[in-house]
Structures are given as structure tokens and as C-alpha cells.
Chains A and B, each alone.
Chain A
Amino acid sequence: MRNTRLLFAVALTASIAGLSSFNAYAQQYAAVDTTNQPLSNEVCATCHGGEGQGNPVVGGPSLAGLEPWYLRKQLENFRAGIRGSQKDYIPGNEMQASVARLSDAEIDDLVNTIAGWKVIENDHTIKGDLSNGEALYANCAACHGADGEGNEALGAPGLVERNDWYMFRQIKLFKSGYRGVHPDDTAGKLMRPSAQALKSDQDVNDVLAYINSLDR
């Protein structure tokens, strides 16, 4: 019989351990209970890019430069199904599944690790009318700050050096009710009406073009 532990030592870096347990039913039929099996530490990079720079094709945004408090909150929201549990938005649902079994200690690990990543300048992919964008941004500035610096007390993340394609998708998700509708998503519930104030895709593009102009 092959030594599975040895296989794991080779296959995986055991940086993350202590997954929540399956229920009794699963133990009867599932292959094995993977509780306490290490999870590949390379899971993040598969979707979020080799350097955490994000990958629009699979919908994984850049992680480098995310505020630790925001990253932690989102990991917790995904884990609890507050975010990403709606199955027809595939990237969100994938993210939800990916972190559903993380422990608090593992979330600490991830937040600390990602905090150390150097910020990567993102390509700007969106064009829009800067003056209209600036006017629309006044509404955003209340929470996200005049320079897009974010506001932890309000749960509003910084917006500079984020992927514009990702922000575009998120605004659309807030507008259509995929984000910001869960009763426990306090910050998201604040964001939803603000997103709805952006009436058209052109408005969204304009405000994102302005946010891009705030990048370093």
C-alpha cells in the first residue's frame, strides 16, 4: 500500500490544516474524511495569478494591496456563504467553495501572507468620461474617501490599484442583487443602493475611469 502521508509531503506544502469535518452521511459515502488533511497552498495562485495580480479570464481579482481588514472580512463572508453562495455567478461560487473549509487560523495565515505581497500596477482596461466620472464619484467618496483610500469603519475598501474589470463586475453584481442582499452583509447593504445610482454601463465605465485616474 502506498504511503499517502508521504505522498502529501511531496505533493503539498502543509501550510494550512484543520479543515472542518464532513457530516456523518458524507463519511459513509465519500472517499474519505479529509478533515485535517493539508490543503494545497497553491490554490490561490491558480485563480488569482502567479503573482496575485489577478486573472480576468477566470474572474480572480488581484489580491496584492488589499487591506488586511477587508481581505479578512471577505474571506469570512465567503466562508459563511454571505458572499458567493448564489450558484449562477460562477467565480463567486468558486471562491465560496474554495474557502468554505478554512479555519480562523488559516484565514490569519492568508491575510498575513497576502499583506506582504508587493502591489502590482494593474493594466487599465476601461475607458470613460473623466469629468462625468468625477461627478459620479462624489457619491462614492462618502464611504470610499476622496482619493479612494477606503474607510475601515464603514467597511468600504480602498479603490486604488484594484482591477477595473473586477470593480465593473462587482458594481454590476451589487446592482443586480448578487451582492449586498444578504442580511449579514452590513457593508454590502450600504453599497447596493449606491451602485444602483449608477444608471448605465456608461456611468459605471465613467466612474471607473475616474477611479483609475486615482492610481499611483
Chain B
Amino acid sequence: MKKFVSRREILGLIAKAGASGAVLQASNALGIVPDSYVDIPKIPPADPSNRPSVVVLGAGVAGLTAALELKKAGYSVVVLEAAGRAGGRNMTVRHGDLIDEVGNPQICDFDDEPHMYFNAGPARIPSSHRNVLHYCKELGVELEFFINENKETYIQDDAMLDGKPIKNREFTTNARGFMAEIMAKNFTNAELDQPFDQWEVEALMRALRRIGDLDEDMLYKGSIRGGYSHGGFLEHGHALEAVALRDLLKTDLFSMALGQNEGETGPMLFQPVGGMDQIIKGFLRKLPDEVFYNVMVTSVMLQNDGIEVVYEHKGIKYKIEADYCFNSIPTHLMTGIDNNFSADYKEAMAYPRRGEAYKSAFQAKERFWEKDDIFGGISWTNQPIEQIWYPPHGMYKEKGIILSAYNYGGGMHFTQLTQEERIETAIRQGEKVHPNYRNLVEKGITIAWHRMNHMLGCSARWQKSRSGFTQEEERLFQTLRQPAGNRHYTIGDQITKHTAWQESAILSAHWAINDMLTRKSGGAMPGQRV
């Protein structure tokens, strides 16, 4: 016999769905729009006869930002990059590109066409990330809109509707309808406690009726906003049958279906035309002689009046001395490089956990999603692939690149599989969302950031608990943010409270430059107090 759930229990269930959604959002760094403003450091022009020198370690977004601003002010700048490419986690993979995963190097064999690329790292720029957009403008990076939420995509959960995917619009319409109905029914109770007047009650009821498409009796019985079963143009449209709330509640993807359209992933988002690394190319156009590749730093030593960096290139060691060092090497790798930092600073470097984000992509032999009215957006599933992204560019071209998995946290599931297992898993799980997926995709590539050479991690994970920074974590963070010996700055999104975003990387470089300027002008003595 079916167990009937009381309305109160349903409300409890909804609260539960909301709560788990909040946790998901926190772990995905979504749902909040942190404060960000454009305040490019005002660096006094350097005396050309006595130019301060800066060595920047790492040619990712943070390192290139620091290098560009300091160069503009007349500083002598050198950027040392361990990999054979610039960009760090800003990485666009195209035909012929190497994915330098330790133990699993891959070369991308996508068709060689401008729209056939995959943004393996950052892939969307929120409109609130004003500093990224500032540099796009300054560097001549052409932007287009990125579509993150698209109601034509799917929600799929093995526990819901026998695992059959359901269009996001259908899911959303039904969920919203029932929630409006429940709220309307319960409002009479709420009235007893709240001093609403008749007009307010009527206004709320009108709003609920419209939000949820409720009928005259304030009941939800389906809506054309969920989609038509048939008709709609030449014939009368018939709405799809309503899906029971009880069925919808079987998935924890409630919040992903309903909550992607706000906060940092809400409209408008942008992407550079032709790939996220257009930003890196823009920086490199302004830094044509400053960046050196395939350079492994072996030692970073504070001196009394500067800093000494030793690096190795093609088996030969070189030493470089500079007034300042801006270092974006992941702290968990910096602990394996000789240095003379204080014990406190070393302790802080060793603390953040390596991020384990994982992405993979296929070349699609045809843009099958477009036949399903999907142009951009994300399908959500409870399987480890979690997400399928459809390219918001290259519409109606023959082929496209589809993101076949994006696991931001707990991504070790894929990382530990062989390449063959990763590809097969992505196909098998994708088949639950798109029938015939196996025959529609080819040339899979995978990015396990935990194992990418010279990085060994996605964004730094400072917090061991989801409830925020502990006092101890705050202390370690502040220790690492302060310059070592007034000469060495750790930069990158790793030293921000909002890791994994390019905006954070840029702001970390600005923070370090401003701190350096403050100390210089404040007459602080270089070197460490002894």
C-alpha cells in the first residue's frame, strides 16, 4: 500500500530538498555574487635608470596580470613558466594540443576548426566579474554570451521516473506549480500569525496563481510552460501531463533545476569568441618577450635586499635576482621547492588541499542536441558525470564539442580510472540522458586537474569543513597572504576566499601589487626583522 504523505511532511521534504541544494551550491561556489570592483593598481612610473625588477613565477591569469601591470609602470619583468604553454588552468584544448596529465598524456584530435574547442578550465565569465571583463576590453578579447541555464536541457536521476530524463522546463514547471499550490493552501495558516490585510492576501494569491499556473481552486494541474505533448501552432496546444511532486522529490537535483539562473551563474555570462585562452593570448600580446617556458624553478631564496630564484631549463641551471617575486606556483608544489621562508609561511603553504575537479569532452559527429531544441545550457544528472554542457557557439554547424562530465568536487572517481575507463564511463552515463549517445560522440579527451603536470590540482581547497574558515584556517590564510620578507608574494586564486575563478586570480595580483606599493611608500624596510 502506498504511504501517503501529509502536507506538513511534504513541506518538510521541500525544506530538505532546499537544504541539500544549499550545500550543493556552497560546494560549487555558486549562488553568491561576491563583491568585485575594478580598481587597477596605480603604480608610480619607475625611474628608467633604476627600474625595479620582478620575477613572476607561473604564467596563469594571476601571474600575467601582475606582469602586465608592473611592465606598464616600467618595471623590469620576467615570467617563468614550468609548462610549455601559458595559461595555467585557463586552458582551451583544440586539434593537436597536448593534455599533459602525469601518466596519461593525450593529444587532442578534434577537427581543426575554430569552433571545435573545449574550455577545460574556466569556461564562463559572470557579468559581475568586472576585472576579467576589464582585461578582455583592454586586451582586445572579443566576447559573446555564454548560456549556462537552458530550460530545454535535461534533469536525469536514476531514482526519479525510472531514470528517464525529463526536460528542465517540465521539471521546473511542475515543481514550481506544486510549490505554489502548497504555499497557497498553507497561507490561511500563516494568516493567523501574520497581520496581512485582505488586499495583500489577494495580491499574493494572484502572484502564486501566475507563478505556479494554478487553476481557479488554486490547484496545480499542469501547464503549457512545461512543454506541449502535441499541437501548439496549427492545432491547439496540449500541455504535457503534470508530473507528481512525489516523483520530482526523488531527486536531489531540485536546486540545480530551479537555482542555476541566479547568482554567479545567472545571466548574463560571457565567453571569449574562439576559446577562453583568448584572454591568455591577449596578455601575451602585451608581454611578447617576458615569458619563458619549460622552466622549472628549483629554489626561491629571500635575500636581504631582494630575492634569488634558481631555475632549470633543458638541464641547465640559471640564477635570477630580482627586487620582488610574485609567485603563483601552487603552494602544494612550492613545498617541494627549496626555499628559506619562515616556518609559519611553510606551514601555511602546506595547508590547502589539492582541488580534484575533473572535466571531459567529446567531439560530436553531429549536433544532436540541436534537434532536441537545445542550444547551450547544462543537463544535470545524479551520476558521477554530473553535467553535460552544450556549446553556446557554432550553432547549426556540422559538429561541435560537448562537455561530457564536470565533477568539481570529489572528482577522484574519474581521476583514478584509466583513460579507456573514463571514456567508457562518460559514454555509459551520457546514454541515460541522450539515447544513442555512444554512436554520436567520438575522440574523447579527459582533464583530471589533480594530475595535470606542473599543477597537480584544481583550485586550492582551504576549508576542511563546509561551515566556513576555522580560526586556524584564517590564521594560515593571512600568514600566506602577507609577503615573505616583504619580497615574496604568493598570488593566484589560491590565496583568495573565492578560489576557482579567474576574477579571484586577478584580484590576488592586484592585492599583492597594492600591498607592495603601500610597503614601499610607507618606508617599510626590506628583508626580515631579525
Q: Check B416 against A93 for contact (C-beta < 8 Å).
A: yes
**B431 CB-CB contact with A under 8 Å:** no
Considering the chains assembled together, what is the distance between the CA atoms of A203 and B95 in angstroms? 55
Q: Check B84 against A45 for contact (C-beta < 8 Å).
A: no
Considering the chains assembled together, what is the distance between the CA atoms of A97 and B96 in angstroms? 23
CB of B455, distance to nearest CB on chain A (Å): 8
**B468 CB-CB contact with A under 8 Å:** no
Considering the chains assembled together, what is the distance between the CA atoms of A94 and B106 in angstroms? 17
Considering the chains assembled together, what is the distance between the CA atoms of A100 and B84 in angstroms? 23
Considering the chains assembled together, what is the distance between the CA atoms of A4 and B427 in angstroms? 28
Given contacts A46-B102, A50-B299, A93-B416, contact A56 B96 (CB under 8 A): no
Task: Choose from B106, B298, B441, B454 the contact partner of A34 (Cβ within 8 Å).
Answer: B106
Q: Check A45 against B445 for contact (C-beta < 8 Å).
A: no
Interface set, chain A 22-43, CB cutoff 8 A to B: 22-23, 25-26, 28-32, 34, 37, 39-40, 42-43
Number of residues from A at the complex interface, CB < 8 A: 49
Considering the chains assembled together, what is the distance between the CA atoms of A3 and B97 in angstroms? 10
Chain B residues near A26: list those with CB within 8 A: 419-420, 423
Chain A residues near B294: list those with CB within 8 A: 10-13, 42
Q: Check B96 against A7 for contact (C-beta < 8 Å).
A: yes
**A47 CB-CB contact with B under 8 Å:** yes
Interface set, chain B 295-321, CB cutoff 8 A to A: 296-299, 312, 314-315
CB of B135, distance to nearest CB on chain A (Å): 26
**A205 CB-CB contact with B under 8 Å:** no
Residue of A nearest to B310 (CB): A50
**A180 CB-CB contact with B under 8 Å:** no
Considering the chains assembled together, what is the distance between the CA atoms of A93 and B415 in angstroms? 10
Considering the chains assembled together, what is the distance between the CA atoms of A127 and B525 in angstroms? 37
Q: Check A97 against B104 for contact (C-beta < 8 Å).
A: yes
Considering the chains assembled together, what is the distance between the CA atoms of A186 and B96 in angstroms? 43
Task: Choose from B84, B102, B315, B445 the contact partner of A31 (Cβ within 8 Å).
Answer: B445
Q: Check B354 against A13 for contact (C-beta < 8 Å).
A: no
Chain A residues near B100: list those with CB within 8 A: 11, 40
Residue of A nearest to B337 (CB): A50
Considering the chains assembled together, what is the distance between the CA atoms of A12 and B112 in angstroms? 22
Chain B residues near A100: list those with CB within 8 A: 103
Interface set, chain B 260-299, CB cutoff 8 A to A: 293-294, 296-299
**A154 CB-CB contact with B under 8 Å:** no
Interface set, chain A 114-160, CB cutoff 8 A to B: none
Binds A, one of B34-42, B64-72, B240-248, B328-336: B328-336
Interface set, chain B 71-87, CB cutoff 8 A to A: 82-85
CB of A154, distance to nearest CB on chain B (Å): 30
Interface set, chain A 69-95, CB cutoff 8 A to B: 87, 90, 93-94
CB of B503, distance to nearest CB on chain A (Å): 26
Task: Choose from A30, A47, A48 the contact partner of B106 (Cβ within 8 Å).
Answer: A30
Interface set, chain B 431-467, CB cutoff 8 A to A: 441-445, 451, 453-454, 456
Q: Check B442 against A49 for contact (C-beta < 8 Å).
A: no
Task: Choose from A2, A49, A93 the contact partner of B95 (Cβ within 8 Å).
Answer: A2
Q: Check A58 against B103 for contact (C-beta < 8 Å).
A: no
**A189 CB-CB contact with B under 8 Å:** no
Residue of A nearest to B448 (CB): A97
Q: Check B333 against A58 for contact (C-beta < 8 Å).
A: yes
Chain A residues near B443: list those with CB within 8 A: 29-31
Q: Check A53 against B354 for contact (C-beta < 8 Å).
A: no
Given contacts A2-B95, A2-B96, A42-B454, contact A50 B335 (CB under 8 A): no
Chain A residues near B296: list those with CB within 8 A: 42, 45, 50
Q: Check B84 against A12 for contact (C-beta < 8 Å).
A: yes
Considering the chains assembled together, what is the distance between the CA atoms of A102 and B96 in angstroms? 23
Given contacts A8-B98, A31-B443, A43-B102, contact A49 B336 (CB under 8 A): yes
Q: Check A40 against B453 for contact (C-beta < 8 Å).
A: yes
**B144 CB-CB contact with A under 8 Å:** no
Interface set, chain B 354-387, CB cutoff 8 A to A: 354
CB of A124, distance to nearest CB on chain B (Å): 14
Known A7-B96, A43-B453; 9 more pairs at CB < 8 Å: A1-B96, A7-B84, A7-B97, A13-B315, A22-B419, A29-B424, A31-B108, A40-B105, A96-B103
Sampled A-B contacts (29; CB under 8 Å) = A11-B83, A11-B100, A11-B294, A12-B84, A12-B98, A12-B294, A13-B294, A29-B424, A29-B441, A29-B444, A32-B106, A32-B108, A34-B106, A37-B107, A42-B454, A43-B102, A43-B103, A46-B102, A47-B456, A50-B298, A51-B338, A55-B333, A55-B335, A58-B336, A96-B103, A97-B104, A97-B451, A98-B103, A100-B103
* A contact residues vs B (CB 8 Å cutoff): 1-4, 7-8, 10-13, 22-23, 25-26, 28-32, 34, 37, 39-40, 42-43, 45-51, 53-58, 60, 87, 90, 93-94, 96-101
